[in-house]
Amino acid sequence: MSDASVGVQRTVAPEVALPSPGRWIRDNLFSSITNSVQTVVFTVILLGLLRWALGLVFAEDTDWTAVATNMRLLFTYNYPTAQYGRIWVATGTVLAAVGASCGAWNINPGMTVRRLSVSGTGTGAFLLVIGVITPASTPSSIRTWIVIIGTALVLISLTALRIVDKPHRRSVSFASLLVTFGVAVVAFLWLFPFGNYGFTQGAVYAEPGLVAESTRVPWTVLMAIVVSAFFLGRETVRRLGEAGGLIRRSLTVFWVVGPLFLVFLVLRDPAFDMGYVLRVDIPIAAGFVLAGAVLISLLGQPARAELARIVGAVLAAGAVFNWMAGFMGWYPMLQKVRISFALLALLVLLLPTLAGERAARLRLMGLWAVAMVIFHWLITGMNTPSTLEIAAPPFLGGFVLTVTIAYYVMLASFPVGVLLALARTSKLPIFRVLATGYIEVIRGVPLITVLFFFSIMLPLFLPRGMGISDLAAVFAGYAVFSAAYMAENIRGGLQSVRHGQFEAADALGLTTVQRTGLIVLPQALRVSIPNLVGQAIATFKETSLIAIVGGFDLLRIANATIPNQPDFLGQKRPGLLFISLIYFVFAYSMSRASQNLETRLGSARA
């Protein structure tokens, strides 16, 4: 291979040849008599189970048109068809962000050709087995398709293994996997005779042929968006080099506030009263932007840190007083003014940490202004009557509800969980006692109790004139619950940070806030990733509990709504199987993503 005359010879690690299938089977499944017996027994059991499961899926009394007809119900519940464009725009935005994020962070799961082809062969073989053992009740066209796809997978995988040079070194890029996926989805939509199912004026119709155009076209566009967003994100970051960080930062910001806008877009179309907006809303927002800017320029200099701490404490006291006054009814104040005031206090309290050069101060002012504008726009929009008529209640349901609740519960409980974990490990007894009390009380109560409490009891405790929608109450309760578990997961991470890290940060003169934010938390969160993802998966699945307090989530639709339709009376099985598949796909993807993240972060450190 390499020239022998070269002094130092670097050798490539020896190739491990992939054993032939026959060889592999002999070595792993029939290496001894006991091994063979076990293999046979367990294969028989597995095949039996598989056949039983297939029997459920393809039983004569399992009417899959119940799912096919109710697809929109399952995904968006009663969302008006006329307004469906909003759903598509929102989905498109999320998918564009997914694609761009994968590109910007250069996600690369690093699948080698060999691994891909092994799993392709395995999947293909599995499909072939299904095609053979599936019960006689299976429609013959479906059996044919299963066999065709299985054979194709096996053939393609084996050919790839044969024609690609060094298949265990050559890795398949994420880009080509993504493109393949997009093409497969589009091909399915435009070629596969899935049929067109739906309701017209309450009556079911089912036409043979392709998927409905109103599904086919948007999904084709969406696939194009994901793929192009990926390449766009990757290339921009690559071209911009250093400034690529800006793209990543904007995407991060999008993931935090973006979905809020989208829920908004889907649910509301506020009819702003421009006169009132100009007279009241805009001046209030401008006032807070200005106040923040003045405070930053006056107190944001490193030398004024002490003064900033004092002013911050006074403002914080004022903010607390405002809330108290609100509860006692001492003086009226718009809720958004109260919140903005509290945010202003927080800003000033953080100034000693964020203070810096003129440029840093200007940047901080810009951030503050943007945050205020977004916040005030959202609040004002929420307080304005909507022109969008959505059959209410409930106005949000199905898969969209599941995803929205799960996402925001995680998002909201994360900062609370971090604060609780920090409080529980802090040196100050009052914080420790409060946090420990909160965590232990919440963890000692079942989720469903918390949800009931929030949806029924919470409105009774609110000050007069302050309503809360059912959905918001459930969301709040779930977030309160989730935060306690989040705190415990993060505390585990905090405890794993070595004492020397605290000392090194102290010795450099970092403040406690800086030490926590820059040194301790990043390390603690890394350690907590597996637990946090585990919690995310649990949260996602447990959203089905909101059915019990009145939400129309996936489970309720599959279990109650569909079986009550005159056309599909009693048809629970297909819906339940279908939503299990959805839950599984999402939970499994999250778990894979977390494994990828871990190896990525791990390799950065090793």
Partner 1 sequence: MSIADRALTSEMASRPDMIQCRGVKKWFGDFQALCGVDLTVKEREVMVVLGPSGSGKSTLIRCINRLEVHQEGQIVVDGVELTNDLRNIEKIRSEVGMVFQLFNLFPHLSVLDNVTLAPIWVRKQPKAQAEIRAMELLERVGIPEQAAKFPGQLSGGQQQRVAIARSLAMNPKIMLFDEPTSALDPEMISEVLDVMKALAADGMTMIVVTHEMGFAREVADRLVFMEAGDVVEVGTPETFFTNPTEERTKLFLSQIL
Residues of this chain that bind partner 1 (CB under 8 A): 302, 306, 353, 355-357, 359-360, 498, 500-501, 503-511, 514, 518-519, 522-523, 526, 604-606
Nearer to partner 1, 162 or 499 (CB): 499
**Which residues lie closer than 8 Å to 230 by C-beta, 6 or more apart?**
99, 100, 102, 103, 175, 178
d(CA 482, CA 415): 11
Nearer to partner 1, 332 or 509 (CB): 509
Contact between 97 and 410 (Cβ < 8 Å): no
d(CA 407, CA 506): 36
CB of 243 to partner 1, least distance (A): 13
CB of 247 to partner 1, least distance (A): 18
331 alpha-carbon distance from chain centroid = 41
Nearer to partner 1, 355 or 450 (CB): 355
Q: What is the 3-state secondary structure (H, E, C) of 192-250?
A: CCCCEEEEECCEEEEECCCCCHHHHHHHHHHHHHHHHHHHHHHHHHHHHHHHHHHHHHH
Nearer to partner 1, 306 or 389 (CB): 306
479 alpha-carbon distance from chain centroid = 15
- Cis-peptide, bond into residue 394, ω within 30° of zero: yes
User: How far from each other are the two terminal CA atoms of the chain, in whole angstroms?
Assistant: 31
Nearer to partner 1, 290 or 508 (CB): 508
CB of 303 to partner 1, least distance (A): 10
Contact between 388 and 267 (Cβ < 8 Å): yes
CB of 519 to partner 1, least distance (A): 6
Residue in the structure block whose two tokens are 């006329």: 82
CB of 505 to partner 1, least distance (A): 8
* 426: DSSP letter: S
* 332: DSSP letter: -
d(CA 215, CA 72): 10
CB of 175 to partner 1, least distance (A): 25
CB of 606 to partner 1, least distance (A): 6
Give the type of residue at 510: L
Residue 211, classified by CB atoms within 10 Å of its CB into exposed (0-12), middle (13-18) or buried (19+), is: buried
CB of 360 to partner 1, least distance (A): 7
Nearer to partner 1, 270 or 356 (CB): 356
d(CA 127, CA 134): 10
Contact between 199 and 69 (Cβ < 8 Å): yes
Three-state secondary-structure class, residue 397? strand
CB of 291 to partner 1, least distance (A): 23
CB of 40 to partner 1, least distance (A): 48
Nearer to partner 1, 283 or 602 (CB): 602
CB of 302 to partner 1, least distance (A): 5
d(CA 400, CA 463): 31
Residue 11, classified by CB atoms within 10 Å of its CB into exposed (0-12), middle (13-18) or buried (19+), is: exposed
Nearer to partner 1, 37 or 518 (CB): 518
Residue in the structure block whose two tokens are 């990733």: 529
Nearer to partner 1, 426 or 469 (CB): 426
Residue 270, classified by CB atoms within 10 Å of its CB into exposed (0-12), middle (13-18) or buried (19+), is: middle
CB of 245 to partner 1, least distance (A): 11
Nearer to partner 1, 357 or 440 (CB): 357
Nearer to partner 1, 35 or 496 (CB): 496
Nearer to partner 1, 129 or 510 (CB): 510
